[in-house]
């Protein structure tokens, strides 16, 4: 169905699913060590972002909609005293485990969303503004959240092994050779150095 004919709910779900697809694609082909390698001064890494998104989906689309989060891993992270627990995969967790957790959380979240309308009420206890809200606002928030972290995954993954692109169905990049990309980078570096 062309995007112009989608109702608002379907449109929002499509944008959320695009972000989910991008997130999962950025995890493909990595081993556990790569997925756990911190790539920024704050420790940003693939598995941490993936786990955070699983926890966030469960929080907004399950707990904030009056359902109980069933998964014990998610429960233990949410109940943790550590404010960064959702970015810190447990030591025994593999990338495959994290991917499975994310996919299972998406399925559970989608199950809840399928039962509700955009104007269905939601309560987000950790929000000061808009604490009493709707499914529509939660969807908009998770679209922004998921695309933001998909962007982080773009950069982290490129730093890890040079893998680039938006998502498998729409890479959204010109087909340049590694040499052409290096020429592009050097051109940009030269411009920055001349400022």
Q: How many domains does the chain have?
A: 1
Residue (of 52, 41, 16, 24) closest to 157 by Cα position: 24
| pTM of this structure | 0.91
Residue 14 sits in a domain whose CATH number is 1.20.120.450
Measured CA to CA, the distance from residue 52 to residue 58 in angstroms comes to 10
- Residue span of the structural domain in which 158 resides: 3-193
Confidence of residue 1 (pLDDT cuts 50, 70, 90): very low
Residues near 184 by Cβ (< 8 Å), separated by ≥ 6?
A: 176
Could you report the per-residue pLDDT of 136-183, keeping only the tens digit for each? Answer: 999 999 999 999 999 999 999 999 998 888 888 888 888 888 899 899
């Amino acid at each position: 169905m062309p995007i112009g004919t989608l109702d608002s709910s379907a449109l929002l779900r499509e944008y959320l699913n695009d972000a989910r697809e991008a997130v999962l694609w950025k995890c493909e082909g990595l081993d556990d060590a790569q997925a756990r390698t911190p790539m920024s001064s704050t420790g940003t890494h693939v598995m941490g972002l993936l786990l955070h998104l699983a926890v966030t989906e469960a929080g907004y689309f399950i707990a904030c909609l009056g359902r109980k989060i069933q998964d014990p891993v998610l429960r233990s992270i949410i109940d943790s005293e550590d404010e960064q627990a959702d970015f810190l995969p447990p030591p025994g967790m593999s990338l495959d485990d994290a991917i499975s957790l994310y996919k299972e959380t998406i399925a559970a979240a989608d199950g809840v969303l399928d039962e509700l309308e955009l104007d269905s009420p939601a309560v987000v206890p950790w929000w000061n503004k808009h604490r009493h809200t709707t499914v529509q606002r939660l969807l908009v928030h998770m679209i922004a959240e998921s695309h933001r972290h998909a962007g982080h995954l773009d950069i982290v993954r490129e730093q890890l092994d040079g893998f680039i692109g938006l998502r498998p169905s729409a890479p959204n990049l010109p087909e340049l050779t590694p040499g052409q990309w290096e020429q592009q980078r050097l051109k940009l570096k030269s411009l920055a150095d001349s400022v």
